Amino acid sequence: MKALRDIALKVPSIRALYEHKQQLETELIDLQIAQAAKLADIQALRETESRSYKEMQDSLADSHAQIRELEAQMKHVYEGHNGLAETINFLQHRNQDLIDLHDVVVEEKWAGQKGTWLCLAPFTDIEILNNGDVYTCCSAFVKHNHCIGNVYEQTLAEIWNSDKAKKLRYSVSMGNFEYCNRFCMHLKNLDKRHDSLFIRRDPDHYSFESWQDCTLDYWPKKISLSCDHTCNLTCASCRKEVRKNEQSDEEIYNMLMRSIYPYLDDCRLLTALGSGEFFASRTMRRFFEQLSPERFPHLKVGIVTNAQLITPERLEALNNLSTMWGSFYVSIDAAEKETYEKLRTGAKWEKLLESMKILSAMKMRDEIDLLQMNFVVQADNYRQMPDFVELARSWKADCVEFQRILNFGGTYDAEQFKTVDVLNPSHPDYAEVKSIISTIKEKCDDILIIENLIQGE
């Protein structure tokens, strides 16, 4: 073979072809080497690009995280500002209450027969607020911050016979009301009220040598739950925006099962929800579903509601309470559509009428012990008070409760509240409101009128 190649190479044309082949093979190798280098460069570029892209993504993620953190901080600052403004408005209002309290109560300037009466509330009632504070009456009617304990920090047994509770009992047993607010419905109405907590002082009953003697051996007879802010409306008389609970739904439920359920054997009326809407609160409905007439044969339940969520289906879901309904307290604040939908922000007049048909029918079938209509008197609605009584009468209501507006939610600043509170004697419409109230009370002998509107009369 070698010999044949040697011979072939001696032929010029064949040698040229062989040399050309070798040249092509060399060029091919060079191209392959160049291609490998290019591929390496491309891979390096891809890796660099990938690193840059990852770094860009990481940087973008960090930026988004910083933005979210800043937004959260801004929201916190905004909510803190709103909360502070509400607190300032509320405290300014309550500060005036405390000044009045000093003048009217501590100095014992209560008018009429109030000095001869004893209030049973500290001996029978508690109200639990959203933060867990416990009061012996409606918190609005007791001296600011005079709570007797907190259900998230103490047992109900400890709270019920705390030093503060015993001092309050001793005070009212002596016929003094230095812990009370002059807007108290019970003080204003005394024995006119259908569930009056006042009895005449008797040395043979509720008489104690000292406040240390005021320990009770029974549990509360009436428990009012105001421990959940959940509501479907944002009425200015209560709040100016949706309120959040300080605890989770599960924490509230566990508190109710731990601090309320075991103490219901002595309770005669369990009421919810003074701080929100019962039918909007899953936590409240879940808790009330645990009740039954078999377990608590003496217990009745009271529902504070705006009636916007009442349906036959929702009532049927609570059929365990069908024989336990005690009271329905319906908050309305108007006698016609336009004012109602203005004051009860988010509510619909037509839905209210539908719900009242349901409650009225239940009342007529004796399925409800008490049907009460509530009306917060303010500048926008006070002239509708007579028509509201007629509405209540048409719904077979037992009573109407007219309440003076208070700056509960810190909704108003001091100047705004002066224009809203027509029951302030300095308000230009005060005389007209006073006349309307007097006329209503004179003409109503078939429906109970409860009010805390005109002080000192």
pLDDT at 87 > cutoff 60: yes
Residue 81: its pLDDT value, please? Answer: 55
Residue 135: its pLDDT value, please? Answer: 95
Q: For 262-322, where are the E strands, in sequence order?
A: 269-272, 300-305
Residue 80: its pLDDT value, please? Answer: 56
**Distance in angstroms (rounded) separating the CA atoms of residues 317 and 450:** 32
Max Cα–Cα distance, the chain, nearest Å: 148
Q: What confidence tens digit (pLDDT) does each residue in 175-200 have?
A: 877 788 777 777 766 655 455 678 88
Question: Could you tell me whether strands 133-135 and 149-150 are parallel, antiparallel, or unpaired per DSSP bridges?
Answer: antiparallel
* 207 Rama class: left (phi>0) / alpha (psi -120 to 50) / beta: beta
Look up residue 47 and give its two tokens.
């890796």
Average pLDDT over residues 416-441: 94
pLDDT at 29 > cutoff 90: no
Residue 63: its pLDDT value, please? Answer: 75
Residue 242 DSSP label: P
Average pLDDT over residues 7-33: 71
**Distance in angstroms (rounded) separating the CA atoms of residues 179 and 99:** 13
pLDDT at 113 > cutoff 60: no
Q: What DSSP letter does each residue of 262-294 carry, written as one string?
A: GG-SS-SEEEE-TTS-GGG-HHHHHHHTT--TT
**Distance in angstroms (rounded) separating the CA atoms of residues 50 and 59:** 14
pLDDT at 155 > cutoff 90: yes
Q: How confident is the model at residue 111 (pLDDT cuts 50, 70, 90)?
A: very low
With H, G, I as helix, E, B as strand and everything else as coil, classify residue 205: strand
**Distance in angstroms (rounded) separating the CA atoms of residues 410 and 417:** 10
Residue 106: its pLDDT value, please? Answer: 41
Q: What confidence tens digit (pLDDT) does each residue in 194-247 have?
A: 556 788 888 788 888 889 999 999 999 999 999 999 999 999 888 877 777 889
Residue 110: its pLDDT value, please? Answer: 37
Average pLDDT over residues 110-124: 72
Residue 84: its pLDDT value, please? Answer: 65
Residue 103: its pLDDT value, please? Answer: 44
Look up residue 392 and give its two tokens.
């209540």
Residue 180 DSSP label: B
Look up residue 217 and give its two tokens.
């051996």
Mean pLDDT of the chain: 85
Average pLDDT over residues 292-297: 97
Residue 180: its pLDDT value, please? Answer: 81
**Distance in angstroms (rounded) separating the CA atoms of residues 67 and 181:** 48
- Helices and strands per DSSP (H, E), number in the chain: 14, 12
Helix (H) or strand (E) holding 166: helix 163-173
Residue 330: its pLDDT value, please? Answer: 98
Nearest 5°: CA angle at 417, between 431 and 98? 90
Percent of the chain at pLDDT > 70 equals 83
Q: Highest mean pLDDT: which of 82-96, 101-115, 400-414?
A: 400-414
Check residues 353 and 167 and name the one with the higher pLDDT.
353
Q: Side chain identity at 436, as an amino acid letter?
A: I
Residue 455: its pLDDT value, please? Answer: 56
pLDDT at 32 > cutoff 90: no
